[in-house]
Amino acid sequence: MADVHTPEQRHYNMSRIRSKNTKPERILMKALRDKGVWFTHHRKDVFGKPDVVFKRKKVAVFVDSDFWHGKKHLPKSNQEFWIPKFERTRQRDAEVNTKLTEQGWTIVRLSDEEIKKDIEGCLSRIFLSIGKEYVNNIDTDVNGNNEDEEK
């Protein structure tokens, strides 16, 4: 089947696909900020440029698009292009995971669908990775202490 768009229209459409600050990333970052969690994002000094970084805790969070990581909605046309592209993306993910793990990082990979459907579960996984307990919208450290209370 031929493309329904002109090459110029296709180029314009593809140029609008963002790799940073996607809607799922913004949803996740807003939820983390609402919980009072401090983080940085898109750190170039951390291998793989994670979407959300907790540098002191050495936790890297990646928000993976189901499409670009070949998890669903696989294109039916031009598969000789798309299949190797998705395989290379998965291979790159594995390389990033290996290198960061060797450097002592904890990796959390979330899919965009996970974030849209279960943001609380995603937050729980992140809180567990950074050493906080996520219970009933209250931040506590792993010892059960409320971090907002003065000591």
Query: Considering the domain boundaries, does residue 135 fall inside one?
Result: yes
Q: Within 13 A of 136's CA, how many CA atoms are on the CB side?
A: 2
pLDDT at 111 over 50: yes
Q: Which residue type is seen at 10?
A: R
What mean pLDDT do residues 109-138 have?
85
Mind listing the pLDDT tens digit for each residue in 32-75? 999 999 999 999 999 999 999 999 999 999 999 887 777 777 77
pTM for this prediction: 0.77
**Contact between 132 and 147 (Cβ < 8 Å):** yes
The domain total for the chain is: 1
CATH number of residue 27's parent domain: 3.40.960.10
Query: Considering the domain boundaries, does residue 25 fall inside one?
Result: yes
Query: Considering the domain boundaries, does residue 59 fall inside one?
Result: yes
Domain that holds residue 113: 21-141
